Amino acid sequence: MKKIMSTIAVALTLTTGNALAAAGQWGYTGKTAPEHWGTLDPSYALCASGANQSPIDLTDFTEAELKPIKFNYTGLVTEVAHNDHAIQAKYTAGSTITVNGQVFALKQINFHAPSENLVNGGQLPIEAHFIHTDTDGNLAIIAVMYTLGNENTELKKIWQQMPAEKGKKASMTSQVRADHLLPNNKDYYRVNGSLTTPPCTEGVLWMVMKNPVPVSEGQIKKLVKILKHPNNRSVQPVNSRLVLQ
């Protein structure tokens, strides 16, 4: 148990995008770009050799009776950080999802531009990852796509606090609940995958919401400007995995 929790702690630390994590430095441009992750450090080997890597192009769906995700998002976003790899929203403890009887606690929300996952070859401007763990250290990620439309009032509150400089963080001055960042229709695709950042840990349960949430052009441009470069990993081979819907 201690070994499992230690592994997941390292994975989450790396997911938050600290400039120097437990292993080598990584990024999205130049010699530390995603295509080089697997050679930057031995602990990143799965980034190059893994068979179930994320993100993917979700297509060739398999029909399945997916049970609804039970959301119990009761807390609030407490802090927004710019860690050079993503914009990360920290969340209070106590919020959970239940999937097939398995309970996962929400830890943080990371924003990527453009989207990392594709759906039938289509890429959207923003993707948010709601990262969860269970008591055994298993990971579950809910992915929400954001598409061009009307201004998003909930994201606006986060964007107002979003630091413009990497390494900076800011406390929230207004209340934002994670469930208000989700689409109303919570139908989803389900696939087994990995973290999309080093160490590219596999065995991650991915649930990608089918329905995107609207954001304005100005909100998209602000995130892109602050990130200064795309922070999406390219899609990985699906191999023998099934994409359930």
Decide: 211 and 142 in contact? Cβ < 8 Å.
Answer: no
What is the distance of C-alpha 119 from the center of its chain? Answer: 16
Measured CA angle at 85 (ends 168, 56), to 5 deg? 150
Residue 226 main-chain phi, psi, to 5 deg? -70, -40
Decide: 189 and 208 in contact? Cβ < 8 Å.
Answer: yes
Q: What number of helices (H) and strands (E) belong to the chain? A: 5, 13
CB-based burial label for 234 (10 Å; 0-12, 13-18, 19+): exposed
235 DSSP 8-state letter:
P
The set of residues, in sequence order, having a beta carbon less than 8 Å from that of 9 and lying 6+ positions away, is none
DSSP 3-state assignment of 32?
helix
Residue 85 falls in the annotated catalytic set = yes
Contacts within 8 Å (CB) and 24+ apart, 154-157: 154/180, 154/181, 155/181, 155/215, 155/219, 156/219
- Which of 82, 85, 129, 132 is catalytic? The answer is 85
* Positions marked catalytic: 85
